[in-house]
Amino acid sequence: MSKTAIVTGASRGIGRAIALRLGKEGAQVALAARDSSALGTVVGEIEHAGGAAIAIPLDLRSADSATALVDAALGAFRRIDILVNNAGATKRGEFADLTEEDWTDGFALKFFGAVRLTRAAWPYLKGHSGSVVNIAGVGGRTPGAQFTIGGSVNAALLSFTKALADIGVRDGVQVNAINPGYVRTGRLAKRLAEIGAEQIVRDSNTTRLGEPEDIASLVAFVTGPEGRFLHGSLIDIDGGMTKTM
C-alpha cells in the first residue's frame, strides 16, 4: 500500500519540491498552505506525473487547523505515514524594530503550527511506524543579529525535535529535523536581486546556494528505508554555512 505524506508550506519553494519528490517516490501527498491556487498547481504537477495528491488550503496558525488537516488527509487516503512540518516564515530585521506581533506571528505558524499538527497526526504515525521531519534552519544553531525571531523559532523547533525523538523511540515513530542554509527560493529573491548569488556565497563562506530539490532529496532519503537509522538527528544541509560543532 502506498504511503501517505502530509507536507505543509507545500505551495512553493522547499515545500513544493518536497511534495513533488515524495509524490515521485510513490507517496500519496496531502499538501497544505494558505494559497489554494498555488496548491492546486502543485497537485496538478503530481497528478500529471502519475501520482496522487490533494490540496488542503488552511492557515496553520488557527488552533483547529491541525485537526482539520489530519482529518482531510485521512478522508482522502485513510492513513498517515510521513509528516513534513515545513510551513513558516519569520520576519527579519533589527531587534529594536521587531514588534510583539512580529514575535507572536513568528512562533504561531512555524513552531505552534508544527506542534499542533504533530500532536494531531501522532496516533496515525504511531500506527504505521511513521516519520516526522521538521524543516527548521541554520539560524537555530547559529543565530544572527537580523534573525532574532527566526533563530529563536528554529532553536525551539530543534529542541522540540530532540524531545519528540525520545517519545518516538517508545512509540516507533522516526523523528528528525533538517536545517537548510541559503536556498534559492522566492523568500531569498530580494537578497539575490540586491547583492547576487556569488556575493551571498562569498559572505557566508559556503560552496554554493542550495536548491529546493536538494532539501527534497534529503527528506526522501530520511523518510525512506535507507534513512531509518536516523533518529533525533539535526541535519545541516547548508554548503558548510554552519561552523559551530
The confidence score (pLDDT) of residue 245 equals 80
The confidence score (pLDDT) of residue 5 equals 98
pLDDT tens per residue, range 13-32: 999 999 999 999 999 999 99
Which residue in this structure is represented by grid cell 507545500?
Answer: 10
234-237: strand order across its sheet: 53-57, 28-33, 4-8, 82-85, 131-135, 174-180, 234-237
The confidence score (pLDDT) of residue 219 equals 98
The confidence score (pLDDT) of residue 186 equals 85
Parse the chain into domains and list their residue ranges. 4-237
DSSP letters along the chain, please? ---EEEEESTTSHHHHHHHHHHHHTT-EEEEEES-HHHHHHHHHHHHHTT--EEEEE--TTSTTHHHHHHHHHHHHHS---EEEE-------S-GGG--HHHHHHHHIIIIIHHHHHHHHHHHHHHHTT-EEEEE--GGGTS--GGGHHHHHHHHHHHHHHHHHHHHHHHHT-EEEEEEE-SB-SGGGHHHHHHH-HHHHHHHHT-S--B-HHHHHHHHHHHHSGGGTT--S-EEEESTT-----
Work out the angle between the directed axes of helices 148-171 and 100-107 (0-180°, nearest 10): 30
The confidence score (pLDDT) of residue 47 equals 98
CA-to-CA distance for 69 and 172, rounded, in angstroms?
22
Is 55 within 8 Å of 73 (Cβ atoms)? Answer: no
The pLDDT averaged over each successive group of 10 residues in the chain (245 residues) is: 94 97 98 97 98 97 97 98 95 93 95 98 98 96 90 97 98 98 88 86 93 98 98 97 89
The confidence score (pLDDT) of residue 74 equals 98
Distance between first and last Cα of the chain: 41
- The second-level CATH assignment, the architecture, of 4-237 is 3-Layer(aba) Sandwich (3.40)
The confidence score (pLDDT) of residue 191 equals 80
pLDDT tens per residue, range 58-108: 999 999 999 999 999 999 999 999 999 999 889 889 999 999 999 999 999
The confidence score (pLDDT) of residue 189 equals 83
The confidence score (pLDDT) of residue 193 equals 86
Q: Would you state the torsion angle of the CA atoms of residues 153, 122, 37, 64, taken in this order, to the nearest 10 degrees?
A: -80
On whether the pTM is more than 0.85, the answer is: yes
The confidence score (pLDDT) of residue 194 equals 83
Largest CA distance in the chain: 53
